Amino acid sequence: MDVYVTVQTKTVEKTSPFPLTVYDPLINEKSNLPRLTTTLVCDDIDNPSVALPLTSTKVQNLIQEAEQKLGAQDVQEYSQSIILLQQATILGSAYAAAKLGALYLDPQNNLTASNYLSAVGYYSIALKLISMIPCKWWDLTLLFDIISGGWYELICSRFDRRRDSYTWNHGIKLMKQIDKKLQDPDFIKVLSLKDTKKYRAIRIYMVFCYALTAEADNDYPLALKLYQETERIGFCGFILADKLIKKAHTKYRLLESRFVQSVKLSPVVIEIA
């Protein structure tokens, strides 16, 4: 995959819809090791917390060094940070893959256009890496960032249904694989209250993406069903996710009136024997 070099020239506030593009000074603390490395692909797939400790340390060091270079005004420094994140991705870090996806989707300066296809590639890798380990080890904050700041943004404002049908459908397929595991009763029952809110926020975004896809395909009955399903998930306490609940309700009403009207106007064909 090609490397596109950009230079960061502005500071992104913590309210950015792309939290993975925001420099986190706490990333250098040891407490962040699980967030950066629990999605590593390891030999002991049932117990990733003890497998490949040297790889985990290596990945942490790569990501920390990359984070420090991201704010550099020097083109070579910024390019090196991208290479470091790519190395961490090769070693199995979903965080590094998602970080690259966010940086390609939302470049941090006004000189470089975003490369949404590169973003698709890295967001796909991130979801695949996450899906390779038991969901009890998932970082739901990272997963929420990937779905809300990545795939949702791609579907809403970057993809064209005809031009990008393959990559669009691929993203939906990956989300459905994640969604299936999220709905495992054994997983749901062990979630804390905080993680339950994240879980619901993730599902709101994913189901809304399914609905947008059905509507883009003119499958209005399915779109109506999915917008209703989005509403039924209910409010979760995440402002942007809760806004999608309201948006799903509005889109359902508008689509319902259009669909019913089109059915009424459809000509009735009578066959005469």
Q: By the 8 A CB rule, do 248 and 227 touch? A: yes
Q: Give the pLDDT score at 28.
A: 52
35 falls in which pLDDT band (50, 70, 90)?
A: low
Enter the tokens of residue 101.
């996806």
Enter the tokens of residue 23.
């420099």
**Distance, CA of 91 to CA of 79 (rounded, Å):** 19
Q: Inform me whether the pLDDT recorded for 252 exceeds 70.
A: yes
Q: Give the pLDDT score at 4.
A: 38
Q: Inform me whether the pLDDT recorded for 32 exceeds 60.
A: no
Give pairs for 225-228: CB < 8 Å, separation 24+: 227/251, 227/252, 227/255, 228/252
- State the burial class of residue 216 (Cβ atoms within 10 Å of its Cβ: 0-12, 13-18, 19+): middle
Prediction pTM value: 0.80
Q: Inform me whether the pLDDT recorded for 119 exceeds 90.
A: yes
Among 16-25, 134-143, 199-208, 218-227, which is the least confidently predicted range?
16-25
Enter the tokens of residue 260.
């019913």
How much is the average pLDDT of 116-144?
93
How much is the average pLDDT of 186-211?
95
How much is the average pLDDT of 246-264?
83
Reported as a single tens digit per residue, the pLDDT across 131-144 is 988 888 889 999 99
Q: Give the pLDDT score at 75.
A: 75
DSSP, collapsed to helix, strand or coil, labels residue 273 as: coil
Reported as a single tens digit per residue, the pLDDT across 159-193 is 999 999 999 999 999 999 999 999 999 999 999 99
